[in-house]
Amino acid sequence: MEKFKEKLSQLRAEVEAANVRADEAEAKVKKLEEEHIQKEHETSSLESRVKLLQEQLDKAESDFKEASENFREADLRAEQFEKKANNLQQELENMESKHEEMCGKYQAAKAEMDELERQLEGV
C-alpha cells in the first residue's frame, strides 16, 4: 500500500507539474496571441501608410510628368522666341546698314544739289 501511495503521490506531482506547464503554455499562447494581434494592427497600419505613400508617389510622378511637359513646351517656346529675336536682330542690322547707305546717298545727292545750286547762282 505504501508503494501505491508513493505512486499516487508521484502521479499527483506529475499532474501538478503538467498543470504548471499547461498554465505556462496557456500564458505563453495568450501572450503570443496578443503579440499576433498587435502585429496585425501594426501590419494594417503599415499597409495603410504604404497605400497613402503610394498615392502620394503617384501624384508626385504625375505632377513631375506634367511639369516636365510644361518645361519642354516652355523650352520650345523660348527657342522659337530666341530664333525670332535673332531674326529681328538681323533685320534691324540690315535696316541700319541700309539706313546708313541711304544717308550716304542722301548726303551725296544733297552735296550734288548744293553744288548745282551754287553753279546755277553763278550763271
With respect to residue 85, please indicate whether it lies within any of the assigned structural domains: yes
Query: Quick one: pLDDT at residue 12?
Result: 92
* Stretch 66-84: mean pLDDT: 98
In-domain check, residue 39:
yes
- Residue 6 located in a structural domain: yes
The predicted model scores a pTM of: 0.54
Instruction: Name all contacts of 98-101 with Cβ < 8 Å and 24+ positions apart.
Output: none
Q: For the chain, percent helix, then strand, then coil, each to nearest 5?
A: 100, 0, 0
Name the domain count of the chain: 1
Residue 82 burial (10 A CB sphere; 0-12, 13-18, 19+): exposed
Q: Average pLDDT of 51-55?
A: 98
pLDDT at position 56 is 98
Q: pLDDT > 90: what percent of the chain? A: 86
Instruction: Specify burial of residue 117 (Cβ count, 10 A radius: 0-12, 13-18, 19+).
Output: exposed
Task: State the residue range of the domain holding 12.
Answer: 1-89
Would 103 be classed as within a structural domain? no
In a domain, 109, yes or no: no
Per-residue pLDDT band for 3 (boundaries 50, 70, 90) equals: confident
Residue 38: pLDDT band (50, 70, 90) is very high
- CA dist list (Å): 116 to 50, 103, 104, 110, 119: 96, 19, 18, 10, 5
For position 121, what pLDDT does the model report?
A: 85
Q: Does residue 66 form part of some domain?
A: yes
In a domain, 111, yes or no: no
pLDDT one-digit tens code per residue, 15-32: 999 999 999 999 999 999
Copy the grid coordinates of residue 50.
Answer: 504604404
**Per-residue pLDDT band at 51 (split at 50, 70, 90):** very high
- Asked if residue 8 has pLDDT above 90, the reply is no
pLDDT of residue 104: 96
